[in-house]
Amino acid sequence: MAEVHDEAVELRDKAWTYAQRGVVALVIFLAGVFAGYQLWGQATQLKEQVEELTEKNHTLVTERDTLRSKVAIVERDKKEVEQQLTDAEAKVATAEAKVANAQARSPAEQAPAGAAQP
């Protein structure tokens, strides 16, 4: 009976030893998973980089929109100035035509008047 009792104690000790080893292995495995998650799973550096790039992107989009509105304003002003130039050129052409017409009439009117004066 002592042998049976010794075998039972020995079996219980082996089971306890394997249970302890299993618990230690499980703790080590979970510690590794936790450490891996902290280092790579949360991706803290990547999140910071994403936030930084998102902010930079927002800044660039805002700047682009501002520049587009400035371009639109400049184009509008350019069209207004071109219209003013076209109007001014038309006025100049009209004025030149009137001057040329007046000069064409002046010598004709002055010739008979000049002939009567001498």
In this structure, what token pair is assigned to residue 77?
């002003």
* Res 118 pLDDT > 50: no
Residue 2: band (very low, low, confident or very high) from pLDDT cuts 50, 70, 90:
low
Report DSSP state, residue 117.
-
Examine residue 18 and state whether it is found in any structural domain, yes or no: yes
Whether residues 27 and 7 share a domain: the answer is yes
- Give the mean pLDDT of 62-68: 97
Whether residues 70 and 27 share a domain: the answer is no
Residue indicated by tokens 């989009």: 61
Residues 108 and 110: their CA atoms lie apart, in Å, by: 6
Who has greater pLDDT, 3 or 67?
Answer: 67
pLDDT, position 109: 61
Residues 106 and 112: their CA atoms lie apart, in Å, by: 11
Report DSSP state, residue 43.
-
* Predicted confidence (pLDDT) per residue in 28-59, tens digit: 999 999 998 888 887 888 889 999 999 999 99
Report DSSP state, residue 54.
H
Q: What is the pTM of this model?
A: 0.49
Domain containing 25 equals: 1-42
